[in-house]
Structure 1
Amino acid sequence: MTTTTIDLNSDLGESLGTWQLGDDAAMLDLVTSANVACGFHAGDSLTLRRTCEQAVERGVVIGAQVGYRDLVGFGRRFIDMDPAELAADVVYQIGALEMLAKVAGGRVAYVKPHGALYNAIVHHEEQAAAVVRAVVAVDPGLPVLGLPGSAFLRHAEEAGLTTVGEAFADRAYTPQGALVSRREAGAVLHDPDEVAARMVRLVTDGAITAIDGTDVAVRAGSICTHGDSPGAVAMARSVRAALTDAGVSIAPFAG
């Protein structure tokens, strides 16, 4: 089945004080959804407010990117948390960003886990359920963005949440449809033309070439181009142009 409309998202608001990461303003000119950090894995309050303001100015949908409380590790280290504590942390993060978005004239329209939490809840049943409970407690109308086939999206569907499968433009896939660990060679892709061609095939054919050369089926309603990777803006621009040239409409999945 051919998908003719796709959302483009990026992880933004990840600068912290004088430490500047990525070019949020340029990315916001290209994407339709912004996964804005919530201060636990990255981002300070002023950065997050300004990112929300820039998103609102451009008509980009704001999502809360929730993660482990791990500024030093950028949220990329697994934390074996009590599920109740994790759920409370997720509620806290969504609430904080919701107020910053509201002050900027917008609102949080979806939730996406970040980094190690994102990867953990592909299989970690207790943590997946905890994140879902948190979203339901805040607003059962909030869609969630996650990896197709994950425990997280299964729990979310069972709880009645709207689920959106996500594909990653600049990441390599295993033959099982999971992301190759960043610790392994070839996990992150850097060629804008190669990445763009992969995303056109994914959207139009529902398939992507895994790291071992085999094809794997991936159904996604949104494509992530990481804002912190080298050449992120050029990559996002290339992906958007290639999809548009292929007749694919670019539009947010949430409003």
Structure 2
Amino acid sequence: MTIDLNADLGEGFGNWRLGDDAAMLDVVTSANVACGFHAGDPLIIRRTCAAAVDRGVMIGAQVSYRDLAGFGRREMEVDAEELCAEVLYQLAAVDGIARAMGGRVSYVKPHGALYNRICRDPEQAEAVVAAVVDYDRSLPMLTLPVSAVHEIAAREGLSTVTEAFADRAYTPAGTLVSRRSPGAVLHDPAEVAARAVRMVTAGTVTAVDGSEVAMDARSICVHGDTPDAVLLARAIRDGLLAAGVTLKAFR
């Protein structure tokens, strides 16, 4: 079995730093690079892309609502044409910097509130898909298995890649538990690693009500902004390798 391991990186801003990107890049196979709308700035994007290229880590554009103050985790009402333009802007910026560093953007992963919104909102999903198609329809989009994006992307000839979250709680419907709810984010390395192994080898995850949810993922995400994120990522990697799973970027 083969699985991709991705993390959100480059999420500092100016003199403010978040997480240990260098250490995470030694663990993951794909890096979701913040594009400047929820976090990140030109220098951080440049450094993150250069470090990813040096380590052979695949680069993804982590597009977001324009929400620096809320870290992109506040749901926003944005006109479809404006949202399409803003996603296109972010994608082009990060891909341009990545190419200057010897790499390129190989996929797109929406961030935070935008990620969750387009799982259930066809209008905003269409806007995001349209932006990716306008830029490069060969770029796949990471999303949840239960997402409005799949049908819309297929209609436009854009591929999708399903992912699972090792460090997030799931509802019985297969969606992520809101971060406002207790227990939405998991912090125990052993628990998170065991969940990741089960997601990959058994194709299931236990929801908050104790039910089992089918999980057919090609990539596992661990958030780079959680406390002890590197410890969690290493536990996931070690657990997967011990279970006979090969870690490899999905493209």
Letter in 2 for 1:10: A
User: How far, CA to CA, are the matches of 1:101 and 1:153 in structure 2?
Assistant: 27
Letter in 1 for 2:66: R
User: How far, CA to CA, are the matches of 2:124 and 2:159 in structure 1?
Assistant: 19
Residue 72 (structure 1) aligned with residue 43 (structure 2): no
Equivalent of 1:106 in 81, 103, 106: 103
Equivalent of 1:150 in 147, 151, 159: 147
Cα displacement (A) at 1:196: 0.5
User: How far, CA to CA, are the matches of 2:221 and 2:241 in structure 1?
Assistant: 16
Q: Point out where structure 1 has 5 or more consecutive residues left out of the alignment.
A: none
Q: Secondary structure at the match of 1:121?
A: helix
Indicate the residue corresponding to 1:224 in structure 2: 221
Residue 88 (structure 1) aligned with residue 85 (structure 2): yes
Cα displacement (A) at 1:154: 2.1
Q: Give percent identity, aligned residues only.
A: 64
User: How far, CA to CA, are the matches of 1:68 and 1:93 in structure 2?
Assistant: 10
Cα displacement (A) at 1:162: 1.6
Residue 179 (structure 1) aligned with residue 156 (structure 2): no
User: How far, CA to CA, are the matches of 2:91 and 2:41 in structure 1?
Assistant: 14
User: How far, CA to CA, are the matches of 1:117 and 1:216 in structure 2?
Assistant: 23
User: How far, CA to CA, are the matches of 2:79 and 2:26 in structure 1?
Assistant: 39
User: How far, CA to CA, are the matches of 1:134 and 1:152 in structure 2?
Assistant: 13
| Number of aligned positions between the proteins | 251
Indicate the residue corresponding to 1:63 in structure 2: 60
Letter in 1 for 2:87: V
Q: Normalising by structure 1, report the TM-score.
A: 0.97
User: How far, CA to CA, are the matches of 1:100 and 1:72 in structure 2?
Assistant: 24
Q: Normalising by structure 2, report the TM-score.
A: 0.99
User: How far, CA to CA, are the matches of 2:26 and 2:149 in structure 1?
Assistant: 30
Residue deviations 1:125-168 (CA, integer Å, cap 9, x gap): 10001100110000011111011120012211221112100100
Indicate the residue corresponding to 1:47 in structure 2: 44
Residue 244 (structure 1) aligned with residue 213 (structure 2): no
Cα displacement (A) at 1:213: 1.1
Indicate the residue corresponding to 1:38 in structure 2: 35
Letter in 2 for 1:72: A
Indicate the residue corresponding to 2:10 in structure 1: 13
Q: Point out where structure 2 has 5 or more consecutive residues left out of the alignment.
A: none
User: How far, CA to CA, are the matches of 1:87 and 1:10 in structure 2?
Assistant: 24
Equivalent of 2:115 in 113, 118, 140: 118
